[in-house]
Amino acid sequence: MSLSTCYRFDGYAAEGGGLTGFTMTTLQDRFNINSQLEHLQAKYVGTGHADLSRFEWAVNIHRDSYASYIGHHPMLCYLAVAENESIGRIKYNFMQKMLLPCGLPPEKQELE
């Protein structure tokens, strides 16, 4: 067995209760998974990457939430009733909040 292999469990046996379904994951499988992840990160902005700051992550989460609220009409109706506002006003407020959902970005510290 080489250093580039590891074991992965795929399931349980149907009879007897023993464990079966162990397969070997090779270095090529890991590379394939990493390349799929890189493809998703390039295609979709909100999936993040290794250098993503806490602020950028929070902005992505808030924007995704507001977009979901706007896109799901029953949720928008619920929020409009809860806040005693019209649906259009709630939608407008969420669109405005999407610009700077977490306020201004923090100042970057310079490395000396």
Dihedral sign for Cα 46, 51, 56, 61, please. Answer: positive
Domain count, the chain: 2
Any domain includes 37: yes
**Any bridge partners for residue 11, and if so which?**
20
- What band does 88 get if pLDDT is binned at 50, 70 and 90? very high
51 and 98, same domain (yes or no): yes
Give the pLDDT confidence of 39-60 residue by residue, as tens digits.
887 787 767 777 888 898 899 9
Give the pLDDT confidence of 100-110 residue by residue, as tens digits.
999 998 888 77
Any domain includes 56: yes
Any domain includes 15: yes
Q: Count CB-CB contacts under 10 A for residue 75.
A: 13
Q: What is the pLDDT of residue 24?
A: 64
